[in-house]
Structure 1
């Protein structure tokens, strides 16, 4: 009886489904999908099932994905002619090098993560997180709903001007002490942990520098349309803020209300230590200076020209070299989160190399859609793709397609491109969807299923809000 229950456990069923999902594309033929695309589809289904079910640790799934991509879709597969051999149908003439997939373990996003981890660790070590909580949350009082609102507003506003990854790492350091003071049975712990990454993702929509999809879309707008010889569209920094910030603020309030509804607090007040006590040791001073310097460098990237990924190496180098973070502390960092993100990035490499992205987009007859439906459809496509791969990669893939679709249907390319950017930013249903999600997941306060449920609701509501309000907001900004 015990053996039967074990065999029929949820994890066992999920593992079987993942294996079936991986093997199925090898035995069926899908029109328009190359052999390489079929293999990618199998790996894609395998990853999705395991990431959602958590039958094995998420970072273990990421490691498995990287290995499968190397064995079935890299140049290594050419050495396995006795087994499955090299697939046909890559975008380029040759399969990606196996190093392309290994390199995702040192991707620039991971370096940015690492910098955020060092700042978060130092903040906890020297009590900076508690001090920040006292300073920032004092105006909001101790009522749980107001505390959460304050944290989400601060996160959202900061994410408009600096990396949402760095913002999440910093604010999570403030939130964790609050979470640890709550009883484990208090659902509000989950609301606090989920509210921060959601606010960071939403806040990034507000400015052109808030998140990479915004910058990618602005770049696409500046390109010359061969048919007219004119730029696809023009949108200034201020114009972007005029339509995006109102949209982001409304969605932020909706996300806040959703957290309160699904994860209500069991107490009427949250005990927060409002006393600010700064550690005055030499190592603490080094950390303070490093943290201030790093954050200023992130915020002023447009002035000095050093991108946020490079800036992320400053705290790593300084804090290790000065002994502020020792060898034991270094080993205790959340390396599993880095592997989790690397798996998502590697999957994006495979999607692009096999043409799987083009096949997915080609499933929809864009010409048969009205202008309004076209916008929401491409927004939904961006959201769906960004849920499983980098939102930057998804936007890069969809931006040129959006321009082509707009030209073919006679639609406004600017509106279609903005739908792409908004859809990509609203993808927040999985820990791998965005770096802020992965950082928050590392706290261990919520499950993937809880993030999927709330993230999907926010994404769907966000799409509906964009569909209803974007035309009016663009008109107010002078863009239509």
Structure 2
């Protein structure tokens, strides 16, 4: 059963107004900042960096102009206004985050072509999906496992969505029956398990890659794949457990509802795959090789005499997918989202320019004095920042935009208060994929919202409760697990 999931979202009246007024508003913002006197304590370059960034942010949020076009304008505007030099603006294309994102697209293309993740999902359900509870738990586990293999939330949703529909069909779920909550739970679990599992693996989405690149550039501290996993995975697993039980309470299944699964159709789909193919074996081999190098981290030096960084391992993995006899891809088969890469270049340039011109530190110092941040204890400040990091997706639907705003800002707050910046910025990065409250907040949400099994209010209620549970777990981890692993 192969289905192509294409999501299109019609803009509402408010979004259409935003799109119409976004460009004039962006120009007005830029003109206002350009014409105002440079504030005391801030450089002219910092003022212009603010003008370029806020104008671009307005255009990104309003979607008046395609995001990649805005990013190209940012690259031109930074040197033109004196905010950054031309070499600095053009040099962003060579940053680690861009190469890592590029490699992630190639790896995702190879895994998708191989069909390995689909085989794994169908196998697990056909073997262990005996009841409602077991199927729900299996779908959570599968979403967690394939986050290792497929570094894209949308690609994972597109792969899992047809399988969820198979399960719905096997359970004979009636969409018109308001008492039938199993369809709701399957669809909402699809959203939440996909997005929440992402937090455990740094390479599961490009925005997390962007986050650790920002941390490295702004603090000089490098976060390895294994360090991220060890710190974040326990919180993620407990959040998924909380998600399961919260869903069971919110959407109780009536006693009369079918609770056993006819696995015939699932087994038929699995049987159609036949024996594991050569391409699947090759993809599995490249994946295990990549995962091993990421997990080894500094042990590579002892074993090989040299160490490949996270980005170099990803590039090597991408190259293996193209090699004759070893790989399975041709260049034209690689689904590289060039518009996202260009968007990331402009967004990253604008964010880094804010820091390097001194604007971020200048603005944050003013804000902190009024907020009294310097008098907050670490745990209180941590709780406030994690809440903001998690629920900021209600304002900024783009994970990339939120990353370039949140991470430098939180590092600035840490520096101003004297706390270790990584202790605050890295846990905040674990919240980047918390986009589970409303359909427009991610493509994953829209894919499952298209089933019609749940309402916007039901998704919001479930999402808010789960994110509050995760927030409580994060605060608890700050006092326990994060200290044990050396983050705090």
Q: What's the TM-score once normalised by structure 1's chain length?
A: 0.63
Q: Which residue of 2 aligns with 1:471?
A: 479
Q: How much has 1:47 moved relative to structure 2?
A: 4.5
Q: Which residue of 2 aligns with 1:355?
A: 358
Residue among 84, 109, 124 paired with 1:121: 109
State the alpha-carbon separation in 2 of the partners of residues 472 and 327 from structure 1.
47
Residue among 16, 22, 38 paired with 1:17: 22
1:260-409 mapped onto 2 (5 Å cutoff): 272=266, 273-275=269-271, 277-281=274-278, 286-304=282-300, 305-322=307-324, 324-330=328-334, 332-362=335-365, 363-365=367-369, 366-370=373-377, 372-379=379-386, 395=407, 398-399=410-411, 402=414, 405-406=417-418
State the alpha-carbon separation in 1 of the partners of residues 215 and 286 from structure 2.
30
State the alpha-carbon separation in 1 of the partners of residues 130 and 368 from structure 2.
50
For residue 312 of structure 1, give the secondary structure of its aligned residue in structure 2.
Answer: helix
State the alpha-carbon separation in 2 of the partners of residues 337 and 179 from structure 1.
28
Equivalent pair of 1:423/1:463 in contact (CA under 8 Å)? no
Q: Which residue of 2 aligns with 1:63?
A: 69
State the alpha-carbon separation in 1 of the partners of residues 321 and 354 from structure 2.
37
Q: Which residue of 2 aligns with 1:233?
A: none
Equivalent pair of 1:391/1:425 in contact (CA under 8 Å)? no
For residue 347 of structure 2, give the secondary structure of its aligned residue in structure 1.
Answer: helix
Change beyond 3 A, Cα 1:403–1:108: closer
Q: How much has 1:61 moved relative to structure 2?
A: 1.0
Residue among 107, 118, 121 paired with 1:130: 118
Deviations 1:355-404 (A, max 9, x none): 33224432122234355433334545666699655859965774575255
State the alpha-carbon separation in 2 of the partners of residues 113 and 101 from structure 1.
18
Q: Which residue of 2 aligns with 1:3?
A: none
Q: Which residue of 1 aligns with 2:452?
A: none
Q: How much has 1:34 moved relative to structure 2?
A: 5.0
Deviations 1:21-64 (A, max 9, x none): 452253255956654444444444444455445555xxx31331
State the alpha-carbon separation in 2 of the partners of residues 361 and 309 from structure 1.
31
Q: Which residue of 2 aligns with 1:178?
A: 163
Change beyond 3 A, Cα 1:457–1:62: farther
Aligned pair count reads 413
State the alpha-carbon separation in 2 of the partners of residues 469 and 418 from structure 1.
12
State the alpha-carbon separation in 2 of the partners of residues 316 and 477 from structure 1.
31
Q: How much has 1:222 moved relative to structure 2?
A: 9.8
Change beyond 3 A, Cα 1:101–1:254: farther
Equivalent pair of 2:347/2:401 in contact (CA under 8 Å)? yes
Change beyond 3 A, Cα 1:295–1:63: farther
Equivalent pair of 1:378/1:402 in contact (CA under 8 Å)? no
Q: How much has 1:145 moved relative to structure 2?
A: 6.4
Change beyond 3 A, Cα 1:295–1:348: same
State the alpha-carbon separation in 1 of the partners of residues 283 and 434 from structure 2.
34
State the alpha-carbon separation in 1 of the partners of residues 47 and 277 from structure 2.
59
State the alpha-carbon separation in 1 of the partners of residues 403 and 14 from structure 2.
34
Q: What's the TM-score once normalised by structure 2's chain length?
A: 0.63
Equivalent pair of 1:156/1:204 in contact (CA under 8 Å)? no
Q: Which residue of 2 aligns with 1:195?
A: 193
Q: How much has 1:405 moved relative to structure 2?
A: 1.4
State the alpha-carbon separation in 1 of the partners of residues 140 and 213 from structure 2.
21
